[in-house]
């Protein structure tokens, strides 16, 4: 059965479908010595394909192992493969591979930090990024300026930006002091600087932005800035099933890799306990406490109640869905980890406690 050229190359990890379509349009791809064009299909896996003059080995779908990395992006890194000015990019720290490359699942601005996903399967990346999938992205955002109830209503109901209407699926107030306020916000698409532009439409400025969740996968609090971890098979299949791709049966994670991961986490916990003991005896002003709400990518706590895309809803951890009677996955009803059963909403310019309601 024939497949579109861009789909085959995306599965081979040469980029997302959109990136490969741009490569084809630029004349960088050839098939059997002929420059390819959009719409070309492949009937034979042994076809000679070249990208920028280099031969590309194309494997059958059953021969490709889908791998996914979670990366804690620091501020200042660019979401590009190379920078003419020599600035650091998110790809600089990722592990090298032979015959494949990492494809970013969406982008984050240079001044935005937090959770990014990378995969060797360009088709998976393409589906996760597509707006029709409505995959949730949650951000911790700190804004500077006066925020009142009407602004919050505007942002939830929707405002018109230069590239169309946009809105937050949910906003949770997390405290503040003076003109600085912290919120957790949820969007279901990845338009350029969307979170910042939404807040700017209300006359306030975003001073800090960090992605803490993608779908039901949380940023691992043990993952240092600039660090990465490979997702286990259950987490990979959660992402694949959410976008209606066949489950993966193999993983590149070996028992030895799991042991090294456990040892490194044990060392981090020991260092953190030591730091806490030092802080407790320090007479100086204590450093801010780490936020307890950030959960591991393999967290055993569910995501907030609403909207996990068109599939994969109701997972209590990254690999096991919550079950209702009859065996169907259920929606999680637990609040965000680290918060009480009542959520703080903005009311008349001041936070008030109110239970979070589904919309």
The set of catalytic residues is 109
Q: What is the DSSP letter of 6?
A: H
| Contact partners, residue 181, CB within 8 Å, separation at least 6 | 142, 143, 147, 173, 175
* 3-class secondary-structure state, position 185: strand
Tokens of 230: 């490979």
Return the half-sphere exposure (C-beta side, CA atoms, 13 A cut-off) of residue 82.
1
* 3-class secondary-structure state, position 345: strand
* 3-class secondary-structure state, position 19: helix
Sequential DSSP letters for 281-308? H--SPPPPPPPTT---TT-SSPPPSS--
Distance, in Å, from the CA atom of 92 to the CA atom of 96, rounded to the nearest integer, reads 9
Say how far residue 15 (Cα) sits from the centre of its chain: 17
Closest Cα to residue 104, out of 83, 129, 87? Answer: 129
Phi, psi of 196 (to 5 degrees): -65, -45
Q: Report the relative pairing of strands 113-119 and 205-214 from DSSP bridges.
A: parallel
Q: What is the DSSP letter of 50?
A: E
* 3-class secondary-structure state, position 5: helix
* 3-class secondary-structure state, position 8: helix
| Distance between start and end Cα atoms, the chain | 44
């Amino acid at each position: 059965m024939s497949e579109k050229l861009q789909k085959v190359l995306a599965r081979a990890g040469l980029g997302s479908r959109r990136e490969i379509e741009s490569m084809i349009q630029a004349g960088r791809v050839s098939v059997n010595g002929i420059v390819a064009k959009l719409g070309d299909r492949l009937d034979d896996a042994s076809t000679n394909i070249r990208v920028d003059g280099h031969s590309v080995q194309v494997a059958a779908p059953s021969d490709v192992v889908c791998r996914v990395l979670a990366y804690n992006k620091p501020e200042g890194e660019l979401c590009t493969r190379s920078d003419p000015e020599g600035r650091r990019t998110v790809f600089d720290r990722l592990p090298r591979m032979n015959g494949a490359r990492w494809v970013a699942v969406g982008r984050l601005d240079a001044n935005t930090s937090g959770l990014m996903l990378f995969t060797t399967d360009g088709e998976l990346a393409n589906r996760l990024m597509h707006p029709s999938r409505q995959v949730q992205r949650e951000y911790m955002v700190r804004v500077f300026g006066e925020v009142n109830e009407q602004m919050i209503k505007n942002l939830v109901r929707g405002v018109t930006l230069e590239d169309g209407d946009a809105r937050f699926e949910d906003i949770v107030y997390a405290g503040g002091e003076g003109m600085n306020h912290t919120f957790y916000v949820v969007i279901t698409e990845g338009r350029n600087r969307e979170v910042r532009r939404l807040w700017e439409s209300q006359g306030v400025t975003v001073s800090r932005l960090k992605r803490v969740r993608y779908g039901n996968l949380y940023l691992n609090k043990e993952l240092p800035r600039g660090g990465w971890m490979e997702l286990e098979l259950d987490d990979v299949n959660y992402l694949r099933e959410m976008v209606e791709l066949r489950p993966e049966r193999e993983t590149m994670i070996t028992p030895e890799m799991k042991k090294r991961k456990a040892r490194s986490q044990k060392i981090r916990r020991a260092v953190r306990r030591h730091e806490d003991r030092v802080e407790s005896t320090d007479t100086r002003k204590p450093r801010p406490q780490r936020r307890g709400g950030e959960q591991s990518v393999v967290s055993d706590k569910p995501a907030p109640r609403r909207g996990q895309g068109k599939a994969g809803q109701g997972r209590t951890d990254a690999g096991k869905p919550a079950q209702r009677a009859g065996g169907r996955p259920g929606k999680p009803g637990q609040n965000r980890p680290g918060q009480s059963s009542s959520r703080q909403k903005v009311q008349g310019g001041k936070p008030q406690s109110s239970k979070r309601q589904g919309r």
